[in-house]
């Protein structure tokens, strides 16, 4: 009974908070964005607001390169790890079509044992798993919820060797290699080319005309370079290989369309869409990075934070939500959504210094969400 009363009180508080929040007027959004950008010396930032599953506001601010060319709503920007959420949405369609079982071992889909594959520069050296049969326990669900046991990327291992650090499925530890393994399974085991699949299933579906999983020459006329923390401009990475973990180029206009379609559940069954943002496994670390941070003692762990599929889910004052960040040397992105309101804030920045103002901008656009900024950014 006590739990029921507490749950009802939390739900009522969430409803009251949502009802009390009013989206600020565009002029207030613009003034606050510009104030915060100036305070953090951010070169360029683009934002989108989704309300009730529809794109409500899109705008870009600042400059896209060292020459001072303006960042625009159709400027191509680095999607970074937001790519992982687009990949998860693509896999979810394959689940609905019966082509992938989230809980089947990847062994089912590969013509030969994973360690028997020769090294491929796009992927981790799977052959280094020879003798460790635990790879057979890996499933698409485990890989999409970052419970593979791999480090983020093999190149970050002190000795450069691929290994499983824990029993697959037993804890959360963010891993780009885990995501790339599922791409490998789809391409080698299912004969799917990920680039065209994402193009058809996501970019074409949502009329994302300036988005791609690899480089397109027509992007060059309106392209954002990045700005690194040390104070230098970094040329846009013109990726020649499709990578499920990070290779997407997109614009704020385009990703806003995807975010709106995602919260509407377009293109997915209700069950599969719900699975993407269902708590799959508790997150038991104080922060996301370094990826193999030790787990906290049980009494110190957050109870409002869990792995979804391609996203992280949380409970906040407005009820359940989810988010996904994207970061590299010259890029900072975030995408935060509230399930009940079907509302999202999307922030794409070609300057990593923008990450310091993301919590304030999301609060401006959505109110207090409960997004775990301290866990995401380690502060």
Would residue 151 count as lying in a domain?
A: no
Look up residue 298 and give its two tokens.
């049980």
Whether the CB-CB separation of 296 and 285 falls below 8 Å is answered with yes
237-250 as b/e, with b when 16 or more CB fall inside 10 Å? bebeebbbbbbbbb
Whether the CB-CB separation of 205 and 197 falls below 8 Å is answered with no
For residue 272, the model assigns a pLDDT of: 98
- Phi and psi at 328, nearest 5°, equal -150, -170
Q: Which residues span the domain enclosing 304? A: 2-100+190-377
In CATH, what number is assigned to the domain containing residue 67? 3.40.710.10
Q: Which contiguous run of DSSP H or E holds residue 313?
A: strand 312-316
Residue 172 CB-density burial (10 A; 0-12 exposed, 13-18 middle, 19+ buried): buried
Would residue 167 count as lying in a domain?
A: no
Helix, strand or coil for residue 60? strand
Q: How many domains does the chain have?
A: 1
For residue 373, the model assigns a pLDDT of: 98
Give CA separation, 182 vs 130, 179, 221, 269, in Å.
Answer: 18, 5, 33, 21
Q: Can you give the pTM of this predicted structure?
A: 0.94
Which residue, 83, 84, 64, 81, is CA-closest to 72? Answer: 64
Would residue 134 count as lying in a domain?
A: no
Residue 165's CB is within 10 A of a number of other CB atoms, namely 14
Which DSSP string do the residues of 63-90 spell out, in sequence order?
BSSTT-PBP-TT-BEE-TTHHHHHHHHH
Give CA separation, 166 vs 183, 298, 306, 376, in Å.
Answer: 21, 18, 18, 22
Whose tokens are 């392209």? That residue is 223
> What Rg do the C-alpha atoms of the chain give, in angstroms?
20
For residue 26, what are the contacts with CB-CB under 8 A and spacing of at least 6?
57, 59
For residue 29, the model assigns a pLDDT of: 98
For residue 379, the model assigns a pLDDT of: 58
Question: How does pLDDT run along the chain (379 residues), one tens digit per residue?
Answer: 333 333 433 343 444 454 568 999 999 999 999 999 999 999 999 999 999 999 999 999 999 999 999 999 999 999 999 999 999 999 999 999 999 999 999 999 999 999 999 888 889 999 999 999 999 999 999 999 999 999 999 999 999 999 999 999 999 999 999 999 999 999 999 999 999 999 999 999 999 999 999 999 999 999 999 999 999 999 999 999 999 999 999 999 999 999 999 999 999 999 999 999 999 999 999 999 999 999 999 999 999 999 999 999 999 999 999 999 999 999 999 999 999 999 999 999 999 999 999 999 999 999 999 999 999 998 5
The DSSP symbol for 115 reads: G
Would residue 136 count as lying in a domain?
A: no
How would you classify residue 214: left for phi > 0, otherwise alpha for psi between -120 and 50, otherwise beta? beta
Alpha helices, DSSP H, located in 228-367: 252-264, 270-276, 358-366
Would residue 183 count as lying in a domain?
A: no
Would residue 38 count as lying in a domain?
A: yes
- Phi and psi at 312, nearest 5°, equal -110, 135
Would residue 346 count as lying in a domain?
A: yes
Would residue 126 count as lying in a domain?
A: no
For residue 9, the model assigns a pLDDT of: 39
Whether the CB-CB separation of 255 and 346 falls below 8 Å is answered with yes
């Amino acid at each position: 009974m006590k739990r029921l009363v507490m749950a009802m009180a939390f739900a009522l508080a969430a409803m009251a908070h949502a009802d009390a929040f009013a989206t600020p007027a565009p002029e207030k959004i613009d003034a606050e964005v510009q104030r915060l950008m100036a305070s953090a010396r951010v070169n360029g930032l683009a934002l989108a607001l989704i309300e009730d599953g529809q794109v409500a506001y899109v705008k870009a601010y600042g400059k896209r390169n060292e020459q001072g060319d303006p960042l625009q709503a159709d400027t191509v920007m680095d999607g970074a790890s937001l790519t992982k959420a687009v990949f998860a949405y693509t896999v979810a369609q394959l689940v609905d079509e019966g082509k992938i079982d989230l809980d089947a071992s990847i062994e089912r889909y590969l013509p030969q044992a994973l360690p028997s594959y020769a090294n491929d520069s796009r992927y981790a050296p799977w052959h280094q798993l020879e003798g460790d049969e635990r790879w057979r326990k890996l499933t698409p669900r485990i890989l999409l919820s970052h419970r593979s046991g791999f480090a983020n990327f093999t190149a970050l291992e002190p000795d450069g060797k691929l290994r499983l650090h824990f029993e697959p499925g037993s804890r959360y530890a963010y891993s780009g290699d885990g995501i790339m393994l599922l791409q490998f399974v789809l391409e080698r085991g299912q004969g799917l080319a990920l680039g065209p699949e994402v193009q058809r299933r996501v970019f074409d579906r949502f009329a994302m005309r300036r988005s791609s999983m690899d480089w397109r020459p027509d992007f060059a006329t309106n392209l954002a370079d990045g700005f690194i923390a040390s104070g230098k401009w970094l040329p846009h990475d013109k990726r020649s290989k499709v990578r499920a973990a990070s290779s997407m180029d997109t614009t704020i206009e385009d990703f806003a369309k995807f975010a709106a379609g995602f919260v509407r559940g377009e293109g997915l069954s209700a069950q599969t869409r719900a699975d993407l943002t269902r708590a799959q496994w508790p997150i038991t670390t104080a922060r996301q990075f370094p990826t193999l941070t030790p787990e906290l003692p049980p009494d110190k762990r957050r109870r409002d934070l869990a792995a979804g599929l391609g996203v992280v889910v949380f409970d906040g004052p407005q009820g359940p939500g989810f988010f996904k960040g994207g970061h590299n040397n010259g890029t900072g992105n975030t995408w935060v959504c509230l399930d009940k309101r079907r509302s999202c804030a999307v922030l794409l920045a070609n300057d990593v210094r923008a990450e310091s103002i993301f919590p304030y901008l999301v609060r401006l656009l959505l109110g207090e969400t409960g997004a775990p900024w301290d866990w995401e950014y380690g502060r």
